[in-house]
Amino acid sequence: MTERDDTRVIGRAVPRLEDPDLLRGAARFVDDVDCPGLLHAAVLRSAYAHGRLGSLDVSAARAMPGVAAVLTHEEIGGRLRPIPIRLCPDPALNDYLQRPLAADRVRYVGEPLALVVAESRARAEDAMGEIDYDIDPLPACTDAMAPPPAALFEQAPDNLAALDEQSFGDVAGAFAEADHVVRSRFESGRHSGIPMETRGLVADYDDDQQRLHIWGSTKVTHFNRGVLAAMLDWPEERIHLAQTEVGGGFGVRGEFYPEDFLVPFAALTLGRPVKWIEDRMEHLAATNHSRQQYYELELALRNDGRLLGLRARITNDMGAYLRTHGTIVPGLSAGMLPGPYRLDSYHCEARAVLTNKTPTGTYRAPGRFECNAARERLMDLAAAELGIDRVELRRRNLLTPADMPYERGTHILGEEVIYDSGDYPAALERALTLSDWQRRGARPASADGRRRRGLGLACFVEKTGKGPYEGARVRLEADGSVTVATGAASVGQGLQTCLAQIAAEVLGVAPGAVTVHHGDTDLIGYGVGTFASRATVMAGSAVQEAASELRRGLLEHAAARLGVPAERLALSRGGLRLDGAPRMSLAELMAGDGCDDNGPPPSEAEHRFELDHMTYSYGVTVAEVEVDVLTGAVRPRHVWIACDVGRVINPRIVAGQIEGGAAQGVGGALLEAFQYDEEGQLLTGSFQEYLLPTSCDVPPIAFELMEDTPSTLNPLGVKGWARSASPAWAARWPMRWPRRSATRSSRLRRCR
């Protein structure tokens, strides 16, 4: 191996730096945080979906030994302000925001009514049992597609919180000249991210420092600090959000939820530290749901398969309030529905409808899981209608490298959709090869005809790397080790390892010599966070730029000190090299010799990486499933994925993302669904009803990482994958198609 090869660390399957602590049980999660005098909180939640809140009698609970406080809307009063929208805020949506506690009206089962604080969680639960409250029930709205039996808010008698329209081209003309029009309706179930570790918070007010310390907030710590400061009327500097290890995020964890106000407020009010750990049943009712969307689609085609126009109406069941994501999820669906295909014209109406269910937010590939499934199913229906092979129909319509960069004509998250680079037809061909599509497609049914097999296929584009900025500070310590600080957050996805690899490559050290600090508001004063598959793109680019600046400064310093041109120097293998030969260690470089006028070497550089436009990864998923036509059992047999995630930092971590996404895909397609009865009671309140896939349910997953089209938008050429679930929905929905192609009698779930 050449020297050059083994000093490259980007692109290598470096073992995760996070794992030794995790595997030894040495990692510190929020429930591991302990403070002297710690109190424990439990949230009393509404058992009714919709009604007016009458009396709320907490006197008996308050009088119980071991109970420190019972906080209701009466105590907190004016400070129960609406939790603001984080992404794409719009004053028109402010009527539908949630306050941390219900004051006069409840709108979903699980809505917080009071916070009980006691010496133990068990005691707090005892006290909850002693609280009496009256709800004067109103009809529950549980079907976003039906005329509502009641209005959740006076401002929206029809429960329509927002309507977003997007269009390009001449849709009416397209349908007028079409040879074929294919119409269909699709429905996606209500799901949520179910991290192994539920949410949790510890808040502790430090009297000496006059500061409030909070552990357990993740994902968007700086934003959450700002929200809390505004709600408490406190200066931001007096609030410190520190990150712990996190047992999974998937988009749902770390947003500002009611508890993110209630728990710190209780700690301040009581002058004692307070811990709240969400239990699993709370999680299923309180943490954001997602994905319940309805599609009404019309596709106009020419005889040769050309896509002339697409008309869409998307209805998103938002649940009872708009949370921190506002209405971005239906917006993402509307903007991404056209996908990887050339399309002459498009009109989409995206409706955000309020219902008496748990409020919704983002969950792994929000809006795209749903819209890609609907579009790909529509493509299959169109192929059948036209008598064109479904692969061929896609081939004829996929955008090509010659189209790049491609202005899609839609917008998402407040920016134009511009596909930066990609070879979509190549991804399709690779997926067909990888899955041996031709041979498998010809495979006959089982001998007795009872078990039948079918293949599904989905093409997708995935948006990643949301701006506007992320920062990083890179510091070379006196001992030659490197420290990186960023405002992006780890949600267990391997962020530390990836950022360490990037810094290590630039500074010529081993990844293990790099320590990454993240998600702590005291370590870096600003940060956007971890969502939208942005952390590696944004923070990774910031680290790359900061480390490069530091390297330039170090080499200039060394050149002056040694009296040689900087071009003859390099940082490699943990030291300074002159003409390729070791010259001094980094520690020696940092120590300086003090004999010249050169001054001390630079030790730190900070870079704020900014980006106007997202970068788009893409891929194709194929799934083979088997159906038992007597029991209806559907068994996924294999999943194949070809995807281009731009430049790969760590293939092992990408593999983990792909496999995890596919597993969640199996869950969403076949097992997971929140269900409510007509009174708005959540029927899937535990893991006995909300079924997650286990290792027995997930088939073998084979994938091929293409690095054909590095992103042109950042110095690393990376595209997002850190939380990308592109394969998730793609794996998910093909699962459904073969149910039809394999057995005519098994019907898809569709809305009527």
Partner 1 sequence: MKPAAFDFTAARSVDEALAVLSQYGDEAKVIAGGQTLGPMLNMRLLMPQVLLDINGIESLAGASRSDAGLRLGAATRQADLEDDPDLAASQPLVAAAIPYIAHRAIRNRGTVGGSLAHADPAAEWGALVHALDAELVITGADGTRSVAPEDFFVGILTTAVEPEELLVEVRLPAWPQGAGWSFVEFSRRHGDFALGGVACRLRLDAERRCMDVRLGLIGLGDTPQRARDAEDVLVGESAGPELWRAAAEAAARGIEPMTDLHASADYRRQLTRVLVADALAQAAERASPGVED
Q: Which residues are at the interface with partner 1 (CB under 8 A)? A: 120-122, 125-126, 129, 279-281, 630-633, 671, 675, 683-684, 686, 688-689, 691, 693-694, 696-697
Q: Which residues contact 123 (CB under 8 A, 6 or more apart)?
A: 40, 64, 66, 67
Contact, 115 vs 40, CB < 8 A? Answer: no
309: which strand partners? 300, 345
Continuous segment of H or E residues that includes residue 667: none
Question: Which residue lies nearer to partner 1 by CB, 598 or 675?
Answer: 675
Question: Which residue lies nearer to partner 1 by CB, 281 or 564?
Answer: 281
Phi, psi of 34 (to 5 degrees): -130, 145
239: which strand partners? 212
Q: How far is the CB of 200 from partner 1 (least distance, A)?
A: 13
Contact, 52 vs 683, CB < 8 A? Answer: no
Q: What is the CA radius of gyration of the chain?
A: 27
Mapped to the 3 state alphabet, what secondary structure does 362-424 carry? CCCCCCHHHHHHHHHHHHHHHHHHHCCCHHHHHHHHECCHHHCCEEEEEEECCEEEEECCCCH
Question: Which residue lies nearer to partner 1 by CB, 46 or 421?
Answer: 46
- Is the backbone of residue 489 left (phi > 0), alpha (psi -120 to 50) or beta? beta
Question: Which residue lies nearer to partner 1 by CB, 674 or 737?
Answer: 674
Question: Which residue lies nearer to partner 1 by CB, 152 or 662?
Answer: 662
Question: Which residue lies nearer to partner 1 by CB, 158 or 689?
Answer: 689
Strand order in the sheet with 569-572: 569-572, 575-578, 581-585
- C-alpha distances out from residue 27 to 4, 196, 277, 456, 638, Å: 35, 15, 17, 41, 35
Q: How far is the CB of 671 from partner 1 (least distance, A)?
A: 6
Question: Which residue lies nearer to partner 1 by CB, 313 or 451?
Answer: 451
Q: How far is the CB of 631 from partner 1 (least distance, A)?
A: 6
**C-alpha closest to that of 450 among 309, 632, 673:** 632
Q: How far is the CB of 372 from partner 1 (least distance, A)?
A: 25
Question: Which residue lies nearer to partner 1 by CB, 419 or 676?
Answer: 676
Q: How far is the CB of 121 from partner 1 (least distance, A)?
A: 5
Q: How far is the CB of 401 from partner 1 (least distance, A)?
A: 43
Question: Which residue lies nearer to partner 1 by CB, 458 or 670?
Answer: 670
What's the half-sphere exposure (Cβ side, CA atoms, 13 Å) at 135?
A: 20
Question: Which residue lies nearer to partner 1 by CB, 75 or 130?
Answer: 130
Q: How far is the CB of 22 from partner 1 (least distance, A)?
A: 20
Q: How far is the CB of 450 from partner 1 (least distance, A)?
A: 9
Question: Which residue lies nearer to partner 1 by CB, 413 or 691?
Answer: 691
Contact, 555 vs 567, CB < 8 A? Answer: no
CA distance 545 to 540: 9
Q: How far is the CB of 274 from partner 1 (least distance, A)?
A: 16
Question: Which residue lies nearer to partner 1 by CB, 55 or 631?
Answer: 631
Continuous segment of H or E residues that includes residue 163: strand 160-168
- C-alpha distances out from residue 17 to 27, 219, 598, Å: 12, 19, 36
616: which strand partners? 463
Question: Which residue lies nearer to partner 1 by CB, 13 or 630?
Answer: 630
Question: Which residue lies nearer to partner 1 by CB, 176 or 630?
Answer: 630
Question: Do β-strands 569-572 and 514-518 pair in parallel, antiparallel, or remain unpaired?
Answer: unpaired
CA distance 241 to 216: 8
Residue 361 burial class via C-beta count within 10 angstroms: exposed 0-12, middle 13-18, buried 19 and up: buried
Query: How far does CA 553 lie from the centroid of its chain?
Result: 37
Assigned token pair, 724: 């990308």
Q: Which residues contact 326 (CB under 8 A, 6 or more apart)?
A: 85, 86, 87, 88, 89, 90, 93
- Is the backbone of residue 110 left (phi > 0), alpha (psi -120 to 50) or beta? left
Q: How far is the CB of 287 from partner 1 (least distance, A)?
A: 15
- C-alpha distances out from residue 707 to 493, 645, 704, Å: 21, 7, 10
Q: How far is the CB of 616 from partner 1 (least distance, A)?
A: 35
Q: How far is the CB of 678 from partner 1 (least distance, A)?
A: 14
Q: How far is the CB of 261 from partner 1 (least distance, A)?
A: 23
CA distance 321 to 342: 36
319-332: b (≥16 Cβ within 10 Å) or e: bbbbbbbbbbbbbb
Q: How far is the CB of 633 from partner 1 (least distance, A)?
A: 7
